[in-house]
Amino acid sequence: MFYSEWFKKNENDIWKEFFNYLAIPSISADKSYEKELIKGADFVQKRLERLDMDVYRWEELQAPVLFAERVIDESYPTVLIYGHYDVQPADPLELWDSDPFSPIERDGVIYARGAEDNKGQSFYSMLAVEAFYEKHKDPKLNIKILIEGGEEIGSPGIDIIADKYKDQLKADSVWIVDLGFGSYENPHLSLGVRGITALEVKVSNAGFDLHSGEYGGAVYNPIQALCEMMSSAHDENGHIAIDGFYDTVKPLNEEERKSLSFEIDEKQYAKETEATCFKPQAGYSANEAICIRPTFEVNGIGGGYQGEGSKTIIPKEAFAKITCRLVDGQDPVDIAEKVKKHLLKVAPLGLKVDVEIEGGGNSAWARPGDISSKVFAKVIEEITGKKIKFNFCGGSIPLTAILAKAAGAECAFLGTALPSDRIHSPNENFSKKQFVDGYKMITKGLEVFAENKKGW
């Protein structure tokens, strides 16, 4: 009752402040937005300074990392709440129904870049802590908050922060508030995120574009060669045909598999994505392929003429951007090297091939029996009124494994995101109901951990 009344009392100011947060184009991927990214950090810092916590601004990285803590007694449980203030680029702008950085509400839904990912979720987390401290002046709980500005570009350098400030990051439970819960009808709690590694491959042949009439049929076309190289990464059953790719995968045991739900089928994904064709790895459902299996994906491919009409050339070069989503046991560096070795091996002789490894991050998995998993399973059941199920998230948050290791903690993968939120896409949105339920989720979690019944 207290938290609902607190929110209602402050509601007008909350939405006004949230809209101001959303209006900051804090894009981390584009250096031309560097000043706006700093404005995002400034906003978070001022918001944290309103809490009864010690606030630090760590400036070692391109985007400042904001950290706040209130350690009352080291014998009490300690939670570390994570979020990020940077957002994806808004392109293509012509597909938005409204300005991505002029937030607008329509039928109880807020539309803006970052509305859900992750300004909505980071903002309601800060509100929850503020309300918690207004209710409890001396709680039996230590709270820490870390909000960074580089998640959308893979959190580069976060390992530096984690190593330098590892003593301050110590916690019992790390709450990654950057995920969803499936749906209100069939809610789930994610037990982890996949890892990721990224590469770019460039194939070139001639010193310049060639006339396709004079040289076509004789000179090996780099685009054709690149497509052949990409297609060699999978066999006819969808298995990744790269030597050693699966060697270190740690499969789930039978008990763990029984605790998981893979009920979402291709029809549901088709409704969400408007996709008309699916090809999961043979022997696995579409949801299993997304949640618990590694992938090799071509994210972009290009070369040659891209303008209107035709231009009869054999392009001098072609390129492809690749990412691999990884599961428990797979090392991003090891997988990247195996992919590079494979591509160089299958490349046609005589072509110039350059494969650049661009980095990545490890997977991070929790277990159904973890204290944090049990707590938030009950919290989500209370909020939705439905029985919770467990699964894994197909996405990646590279920081998670680094932060969990530095904290020496188990993880809880939280959030009230829904597939309809269109994160990373035009018309990203977040309903007020999801926002308020996220606030409830964090306040309920804080209350349970403050009871200190488990001893830690």
Question: In this structure, how many other beta carbons lie within 10 angstroms of the beta carbon of residue 105?
Answer: 15
Contact assessment for residue 176 and residue 413, using Cβ atoms and an 8 Å cutoff: yes
Contact 79, 172 (CB under 8 A): yes
Strand partners, 56: 67
User: For 85-133, what is each residue's pLDDT tens digit?
Assistant: 999 999 999 999 999 999 999 999 999 999 999 999 999 999 999 999 9
3 state DSSP class of 314: strand
Closest C-alpha among 426, 359, 430 to residue 89? 426
In 3-state terms, what secondary structure has residue 226?
helix
Average pLDDT in the chain:
94
In this prediction, residue 453 carries a pLDDT of 57
Two tokens, residue 135: 């209710």
Cα–Cα dist 326/343, whole Å = 18
Give SS3 for 156.
coil
Backbone dihedral angles phi then psi of residue 308, each to the nearest 5 degrees = -70, 145
Exposure on the CB side of residue 242, measured as CA atoms within 13 A: 23
330-357 pLDDT, tens digit each: 999 999 999 999 999 999 999 999 999 9
- pLDDT for the residue 455: 47
Tell me if residue 196 falls in helix, strand or coil. Answer: strand
Is residue 272 pLDDT above 90, yes or no? Answer: no
Contact 404, 364 (CB under 8 A): yes
Q: pLDDT: is 255 or 131 the higher one?
A: 131
